[in-house]
Amino acid sequence: MAKPKIRLANIGITFRPRQREPVVAVQNISLSVEEGSIVTVVGPSGCGKSTILNAVSGLLTPSTGHAEVDGKRVDGIRHDVGYMFARDGMMPWRTALGNVEFGLEVRKIANRRDIARDWLRKVGLEKFEGHYRHELSQGMRQRVAVARTFAIDPDVLLMDEPFGALDSQTRLLLQELFLSVWESTRKTVLFVTHDLHEAIFLSDIVIVFTNRPGRVKSVIPIDLPRPRLPPAELATASEFRDIYARIWGELRDEVRVFE
Ligand SMILES: Nc1ncnc2c1ncn2[C@@H]1O[C@H](COP(=O)(O)OP(=O)(O)OP(=O)(O)O)[C@@H](O)[C@H]1O
Ligand SMILES: [Mg+2]
């Protein structure tokens, strides 16, 4: 069995805003992500999904427990961890190529132009390398973000609803693009989404969190062969529908708190 690349050991996180009640965001979170696999967390809004990604990246120190990457305790911001969000994060004063190059510059990588071009080609944007943010569609910006994230060759990828701001068709295409890039790199990915189709299509394991304070409610293996069918086709398979029903069955009671 592969060793865990990411491990969360009994993590609890309580925010203590000044002059307000403390907020217990997550409690007793233990989970592992095996090297080269994709694990996705789903759960109601506010249950602490983004918070645990922040703990893995070192942006935030847990109140109890700890996170590990590669068997080492996370105790500060790590540069071997890539982070991707719903907002594309493109710098408007840099071209698409310049944006992909940025992370390589920070890491003082020598042949950064070639690497950045290669990644822009992989996401189908080679003809747009000189374009600025305002000259690109939302889907293209998110493709730049995919290129930028993979270009730095991170050991671990944290993805917080990375396709959440896209229309549903562009989203399907980006999911396929992401998975094909992942197939060739086999990065270790901890992914967060509200989209159960996306979670099943991408993941080896889906973890359902409870309502806040977030705890692990269930761990559901996705035993579908890889490479996966395209998302629209996969959605019609009976195995897919069974897994979907199981995850929604677990999640429904947690989301219902808001009804
Ligand atoms: N810096 C902070 N200070 C105080 N409270 C915070 C802070 N960051 C997050 N929280 C609180 O922690 C809880 C978890 O927030 P988090 O952003 O992790 O939720 P989430 O599961 O990612 O939700 P969503 O699905 O809406 O993105 C929320 O109640 C939020 O208000
Ligand atoms: Mg969030």
Phi, psi of 181 (to 5 degrees): -65, -40
What global pTM score does this model have?
0.95
| Cβ atoms of 123 and 147 closer than 8 Å | yes
Every domain of the chain with CATH number 3.40.50.300 lies at: 36-80+155-259
- The CATH T-level fold of domain 36-80+155-259 is Rossmann fold (3.40.50)
Q: To which H or E segment does residue 191 belong?
A: strand 188-192
Residues 65-74, mean pLDDT to the nearest whole number: 96
CA of 58 to the centre of ligand 2 (A): 16
The count of other CB atoms within 10 Å of the CB of residue 145 is 24
pLDDT confidence band for 4 (50 / 70 / 90): very high
- Position 1 scores a pLDDT of 57
pLDDT in tens, 18-29: 999 999 999 999
| Per-residue confidence (pLDDT) for residue 81, from 0 to 100 | 93
The residues, any chain, with a CB within 8 Å of residue 55's CB and separated by 6 or more, are: 8, 11, 13, 61, 62, 67, 74
Tens of pLDDT along 190-205? 999 999 999 999 999 9
If one compares 137 and 2, the residue with the highest pLDDT of the two is 137
pLDDT on residue 79: 82
Cα of 109 vs centre of ligand 2, distance in Å, is: 32
Interaxial angle between packed helices 138-151 and 168-185, expressed in degrees from 0 to 180 and rounded to the nearest 10: 10
pLDDT for 2 equals 64
Ligand 1: residues with CB < 6 A are 15, 17, 23, 25, 43, 45-51, 212
Give 93 or 232, the one with higher predicted confidence.
93
Ligand nearest to the CA of 210: 1
| pLDDT bucket at 221, cuts 50 / 70 / 90 | very high
